[in-house]
Amino acid sequence: MRRPGTIVGVALVALLAAVALLGPLLTPYAPDAQDLDRALFAPSRAHPLGTDENGCDLLSQLAHGLRLDLSLAALVVCVSLLVGLAVGATAGFLGGLVDEALMRLVDVLLSFPGILLNLAILAAVGRPSLGHLVFALCLNGWVGYARVARGQALALREREFVLSARALGIAEMRILLRHVAPNLLGPLLVQASFGFAGVVLIEASLSFLGLGPPHGYTLGALMNQGATHLWLTHRLASVPGAAIAIIVLGFNLLGDALRDRFDPRLAGR
């Protein structure tokens, strides 16, 4: 059964990807091209989303912001997923002391309210670079994936195909890599879709607080800028705000669709 939410989700994610990939190439203005005579212009044919307080084209800024935010989120999600997969699969597959130790580490990281740890790291750095931001987001980003991967690996460990592989004398490492890990990817992809929206939101919050990447445009930084000019127009805040909303909506709907696909028991919840 294909629900309307699925189609909307896939369409929104495709649209976002297209804008992030092609947008910066198609917009005729550089995002930082100032034209003070055109400050705070309403949307027009030349500037479809209008201009900001310095006369910069808002659409160009949005396209660059989307590109930076989405690629940052993609990088963070990929790294977190791989680390989480490695840790979770190892813990669940090996069990025993390894499992106990890794899961206590997960517990400690989970007991730390997410954004606080990121904030503490970025505050300690002083002037965070893009690398610091990715490091901060990944440091506790992998935990959720590890939990899911461990649960799945625990279940898979007793399944017939794993038992028969072991009976055939295949090395444990090979069983883990060739037979267990690929079966973990489905549930992790579901998690990644929801996680993607989460990373975008956290990054926007950090940028809003002034702890985002130092160069380039992010949706959170645009949002911060927009909030300071709220008295003049809500457009500067609403454009990045709506973009964030579309990202969150798109990836949540995609996540729902993936969950229905990989775990039909939960379909329709």
Partner 1 sequence: MDTSADPRWTTCGDIAPVIRYLTRRAATSALGLLGAALLTFAVLRLVPGDPVDGLLGEQATAAQRQDLRRFLGLDQPLHRQVVSYLGRIADGSLGKSYRHRDTTVASRLVAVFPFTLQLAAAAMLIGLIIALPLGILAALRAGTGVDAAATGAALCGVAVDKLWLGPLLILLFYVHLGWLPGPGDDPSAAAALVLPAVTMGAALAAMLSRMTRASLLEVIREEYVVCARAKGLSELAVIGKHALKNALIPVLHVAGLQFGALLSGAMITEKIFARPGVGTLLLDAISERDYPVVQGCVLGIAACYLLVNFATDLLTAAVDPRIRLR
Of 33-41, 46-54, 162-170, 242-250, the segment contacting partner 1 by CB under 8 A is: 242-250
Residues that contact partner 1, how many (by CB under 8 A): 45
Beta strands in the chain, from DSSP E residues, in sequence order: none
The single-letter code of the amino acid at 170 is I
Among 21, 79, 94, 246, binds partner 1 (CB under 8 A): 246
Strand partners, 51: 57
What mask of x and - would describe binding to partner 1 in positions 188 to 227, judged by CB under 8 A? -------------x--xx--xxxx--------x--x--xx
Inter-residue contact 46 to 56 (CB < 8 Å): no
Residue 4 to residue 206: CA distance in whole angstroms:
33
Select 29 or 194, whichever has its Cβ closest to partner 1: 194
Residue 267 to residue 265: CA distance in whole angstroms:
6
Residue 143 to residue 203: CA distance in whole angstroms:
17
Regarding 40 and contact with partner 1 (CB under 8 A), the answer is no
Regarding 234 and contact with partner 1 (CB under 8 A), the answer is yes
CA dihedral 94, 99, 102, 107 (to 10 degrees): 150
Regarding 244 and contact with partner 1 (CB under 8 A), the answer is yes
Site residues for partner 1, 131-160, by CB under 8 A, read 132
Regarding 230 and contact with partner 1 (CB under 8 A), the answer is yes
Task: Give the contacts of 243 (CB within 8 A, at least 6 positions apart).
Answer: 62, 65, 66, 219
Residue 267 to residue 261: CA distance in whole angstroms:
8
Residue 59 to residue 4: CA distance in whole angstroms:
29
Select 175 or 252, whichever has its Cβ closest to partner 1: 252
What mask of x and - would describe binding to partner 1 in positions 94 to 133, judged by CB under 8 A? ----------x--xxx-xxx-xxx-xxx-xxxxx----x-
| Smallest distance, partner 1 to C-beta of residue 104, A | 7
Inter-residue contact 61 to 52 (CB < 8 Å): yes
Regarding 93 and contact with partner 1 (CB under 8 A), the answer is no
Select 54 or 238, whichever has its Cβ closest to partner 1: 238
Regarding 269 and contact with partner 1 (CB under 8 A), the answer is yes
Inter-residue contact 88 to 149 (CB < 8 Å): yes
Footprint on this chain of partner 1 (rule: CB under 8 A)? 104, 107-109, 111-113, 115-117, 119-121, 123-127, 132, 201, 204-205, 208-211, 220, 223, 226-227, 230-231, 234, 237-238, 240-242, 244-246, 248-249, 252, 269
